[in-house]
Structure 1
Amino acid sequence: MTTLLRPEVTLDALRQRQKGRLPDLLGIEVLTLDQGTLTGELTIRPDLLAPNGFLHAATVVALADTCCGYACIAHLPEKAQNFTTLELKSNHVSTAREGKIVAKASAVHLGRSTQVWDATVTSGEGKLIAMFRCTQMILY
């Protein structure tokens, strides 16, 4: 059974949902939402850097996790109310100090009780920053 994109979950609905929450505070912007994918970006600012002057790993994880979470919301099975994260993992292979980072979330498994999402985080120029995977428990 394929879990289809919920028509009521739009980019505007996701933008409204994040107001006053961590994604809003970080400045995460959702860009695209399609069947099985969601893309978002974040402009790097000095307050999002680690004390060493490079992009903080938690900033990268927050962007990837937000994009995967929003994608999960948009693909909840019929009668599901919400989700919660069971597990997440990230591999960081590069970093950045300025510009933007972009995360593209892609569905790996869209089940009735769990979903698995991968996100690739790149610099605005396309350089790979991190690979991320999370497992979401679907709540009814």
Structure 2
Amino acid sequence: MSHPDITVAMLNERGTGRLPGHLGIVITAVGDGQLTAELPVLPHLLAPNGYLHAGSVVTLADTASGYGCIVNLPEGAHNFTTIELKSNHLGTVREGTLTCTAKVEHKGRNTQVWDAVVKNKETGKTIALFRCTQMILYPK
């Protein structure tokens, strides 16, 4: 079940005062089974070596996958928690904007699996591939 009443603005507000908002992640599009987000590459996202910190990329992909899960929660579910994530880092950037598209691969009653691709917005080069599994939570 998709929740079309959840808007991009609502998702961006959800990140305010939390890690996604602090880092600068912006949700740009949401649809049934897919979500897109962006992250401007700023100095606080870089590792001490001057390159993009892997944790910044993982946070972008996990946020896109997690927010996608929220929009696609099954009927009766009230939330989720990430139970597994994996990333393959293929490149890096020092400036510009990252874009991430997360797509649902499995939308079950108890778990969802999302694949996300993080790219350099300016060049289209793939920076990382990501897979995330969420456990669906129900009220007790």
TM-score, normalised by the number of residues in structure 2: 0.96
- Give the residue type in structure 1 aligned to 2:95: E
Cα deviation per residue 1:68-89 (whole Å; 9 max; x = unaligned)? Answer: 0000000000010000011000
List aligned pairs for 1:29-108, cutoff 5 A: 29-108=26-105
Instruction: Tell me by how many angstroms 1:35 deviates.
Output: 1.1
Structure 1, gaps ≥5 residues long:
none
- % identical equivalent positions: 57
Instruction: Tell me by how many angstroms 1:8 deviates.
Output: 2.3
Per the alignment, residue 120 of structure 2 pairs with 123
Rounded Cα–Cα distance in structure 1 between residues aligned with 2:99 and 2:3:
23
Query: Is 1:6 matched with 2:30?
Result: no
SS at match of 2:4: coil
TM-score, normalised by the number of residues in structure 1: 0.96
Structure 2, gaps ≥5 residues long:
none
Aligned pairs, how many? 137
Rounded Cα–Cα distance in structure 2 between residues aligned with 1:55 and 1:130:
12
Query: Is 1:22 matched with 2:19?
Result: yes
Rounded Cα–Cα distance in structure 2 between residues aligned with 1:126 and 1:110:
28
Where in structure 1 do 4 or more consecutive aligned residues deviate above 6 Å? none
Cα deviation per residue 1:34-72 (whole Å; 9 max; x = unaligned)? Answer: 111000000001111011110000000000000000000
